[in-house]
A = this chain, B = another copy of it.
Amino acid sequence: MEKISNIVFIGAGNVATNLAHELKSKGLNILQIYSRTLNSAEKLASAINAKFTVKEEEILQTADLYIVSVNDDIILDVLKNINLKNKKIVHTSGSVDINIFSNITDNYGVFYPLQTFSKEEIISFKEIPFCIEANNLSFQNQLIELANIISEKVQILNSEERRVLHIAAVFACNFTGYMYLISNDILNENKISFDILKPLIQRTAEKVKKIEPIEAITGPAKRNDIEVIKKHLIYLEKFPEFKKIYKDLSDSIIEYFNNKNNTNVKL
């Protein structure tokens, strides 16, 4: 089986930055970084000693693999002026169907690391679940081999499974990140440091390593403690948007456990 050695990145965002660093550190050749944003292309390229360009026509034609890592809704727009006929292409998105590439080339796939990345902190991929999909077995095997170099948790998922996983990840990661953001804003307003919440945040995440989320959840809504919820809503008058979220989520939690309990009684 032909091995993937030379890679071009199309995109220089959070995922591309972390993935390019990781592949480089494992001995792969990152030939070039393309991005529409000069600053992003230049910064990533110089960090990993690669070339860069902001011009579609200058994208190198010699790579074994083109990794497209841009916002989902501009993938096709970015690709329309790039000649990738007969090239091997993957994207790194949770929710984009593999067939987005079907009119572009004969070897296409998905190379999706299930993690939240930031350019500011480059992390190891060892523990990151890697979801692979390809339109043919030979290319799929190449992608698995490549992923195995950087991650111990490589698996094959089809586009439908990957989308479900991405939706679950939006709840577990993105919405959770918004909860942190809200709590930070509420504390800031009261000149209390966010530091005080950090052990609680860590512990909340650690709990579900060992026990089921339904056993781990605590708090006024879980306990159906209406008096506390009412007091909190009164305080939150000064944050109307956060008050709405507090009320909606508390109602939903109460209903969730009411339904669970009713179901149990009926069994």
Contacts and interface: CB of A to CB of B under 8 A. Distances in A.
B115 A173 contact: no
A198 B176 CA distance: 13
A161 B202 contact: no
B174 A218 contact: yes
Contacts of A207: 116, 118, 121, 177
Interface of A: 14, 71-73, 95, 114-118, 120-121, 123, 127-129, 153, 155, 161, 163-184, 186-187, 190, 192, 194, 196-223, 225-228, 231-232, 235-236, 241-242, 244-246, 248-249, 252-253, 255-256
A-side interface mostly: helix
Contacts of A117: 218
Contact of A178 (B123, B184, B202, B252): B252
Given A116-B203, A120-B211, 20 more contacts: A72-B220, A72-B228, A115-B200, A116-B219, A128-B199, A164-B235, A165-B196, A168-B183, A171-B186, A172-B180, A172-B183, A172-B200, A175-B219, A175-B245, A176-B179, A177-B219, A178-B252, A180-B213, A181-B213, A184-B214
A168 B181 contact: no
Nearest to A204: B173
Nearest to A162: B192
A186 B201 contact: no
B123 A235 contact: no
